[in-house]
Amino acid sequence: MTIEEMNRIKDSRGYSFTQLSDYTGVPVVTLQRIFSGNTKNPRKATLDAIEKVLEGDESKYFGKAYSYEQSSVIFSDRCEKSSDLAESSPSYGSKKNGEYTVEDYYALPEDQWVELIDGVFYDMTAPRPVHQIISSAVFNAIYNFIRSNKGDCIPLYSPIDVQLDCDDRTMVQPDVVIVCDEDKIRDRVIYGAPDFVLEILSQSTRRKDMFIKSEKYCNAGVKEYWMIDPKKRVLIVYNFKDEDVTPEIMPLEGDYPMNIFDGKLRIDLEEVNQIIERFSK
């Protein structure tokens, strides 16, 4: 099936990319790149998932055509629509969701912990100790590697404001970032996209981190995005420099290389798993 044919069927059925992602299991970012022609050589499994839905009987199709599978770990969470997440997020003051700005963000009380994404506020709960310990372990490994190799990149950890799109509608707080252009480090914020982002998933933030923020990070220019899921004991990695933006999912076993350092830095996933075992009680 050609890109033109896929776009024609998608449009005729009125699918949004979010809806098509829900049906196929393929991330929104990957779909957008394929349907726009930016991905020249999509993986066969990805195309098979898309074609199964587009060529299928819409009235009889329920559920997913495809699940990502890596090292016997199946990643099959159903994606909430971004609009549903926005509608469920809290309102502040007289403005509607989608109208808030960075000025509103800074006007909130200091004990109000939120992220601002495309004019919408999303509440954030205080991280659990296991969350903080994982973040510290990964940050320390990155910091020690950069320092021992006399590198120029700078790792930072939450709380740190990231004005991701360099506009007044988005301000996020990733758990760990790496910035290799120090001009992006301003007095109050990281202004622009970090090179690397790590998020530790939690019950209250997992859908936002997995779906809304993965798309935001890709479009903003983040090169590599990691998510550690303590509940499912997996690492999910997006290498946004790869033209087929398909996540790799692997269990917390052995170690895994960071692409932005050409694989020279490997994060000990066994250590992360041991932290979860020890402190998730």
Quickly count: other Cβ atoms within 10 Å of residue 164's Cβ: 28
pLDDT score, position 96: 78
Confidence of residue 112 (pLDDT cuts 50, 70, 90): confident
Regarding beta strands 196-200 and 176-179, do their DSSP bridges make them parallel or antiparallel, or are they unpaired?
Answer: antiparallel
Q: What are phi and psi of 69, to 5 degrees?
A: -135, 125
Per-residue pLDDT, 56: 81
> Mind listing the domains of the chain with CATH numbers?
3-66 (1.10.260), 82-123 (no CATH), 129-279 (3.90.1570.10)
Q: How many CA atoms lie within 13 A of 128 on its CB side?
A: 15
DSSP 208: I
Q: What's the mean pLDDT in 262-269?
A: 95
Mean pLDDT within 6-10: 88
Tens of pLDDT, residues 206-235? 888 988 999 999 999 999 999 999 999 999
pLDDT digit string (tens) for 146-186?
A: 999 999 999 999 889 999 999 999 999 999 999 999 999 99
Taking the C-alpha atoms of residue 31 and residue 213, their distance in angstroms, rounded to an integer, is: 16
Phi, psi at residue 200, to the nearest 5°?
A: -95, 120
Q: How far is CA 104 from the centre of its chain?
A: 24
| Residue 189, pLDDT above cutoff 60 | yes
DSSP character at residue 127: P
Q: Is the pLDDT of residue 108 over 50?
A: yes
Query: What was the pLDDT predicted at 75?
Result: 40
Does 12 or 228 have the greater pLDDT score? 228
Q: What is the pTM of this model?
A: 0.73
- Of the two residues 84 and 45, the one the predictor is more confident about is 45
CA separation for the pair 177, 192 (Å, rounded): 12
pLDDT of residue 176: 97
Confidence of residue 123 (pLDDT cuts 50, 70, 90): confident
- Given phi > 0 = left and psi -120 to 50 = alpha, else beta, which region is 12? alpha
Higher pLDDT, 154 or 65: 154
Other beta carbons less than 10 A from residue 235's beta carbon:
24
pLDDT value of position 272: 96
- pLDDT for 265 equals 96
Contact status, residue 198 vs residue 228, Cβ threshold 8 Å:
yes
> Is the alpha carbon torsion for 43, 49, 55, 58 positive or negative?
negative
pLDDT at 16: 81
The better pLDDT of the pair 265, 22 is held by 265
Contact between 239 and 259 under an 8 Å Cβ cutoff? The reply is yes
Q: How many CB atoms lie within 10 A of CB 127?
A: 18
Structure tokens at 98: 């989608």
Q: Tell me, what's the pLDDT at 94?
A: 67
Asked if pLDDT for residue 255 goes beyond 60, the answer is yes
Helix axes 3-13, 44-54, angle to 10 degrees: 40
Mean pLDDT, the chain, integer: 84
Q: What is the pLDDT of residues 199-210, one digit of tens each?
A: 999 887 888 898
Dist. CA 256–CA 32, nearest whole Å = 28
Q: Over pLDDT 90: what percentage of the chain?
A: 48
In this predicted structure, the answer to whether residue 1 has a pLDDT above a threshold of 80 is yes
> What digits encode the pLDDT tens for the residues 45-64?
888 888 888 888 666 544 44
What pLDDT score does 223 carry? 95
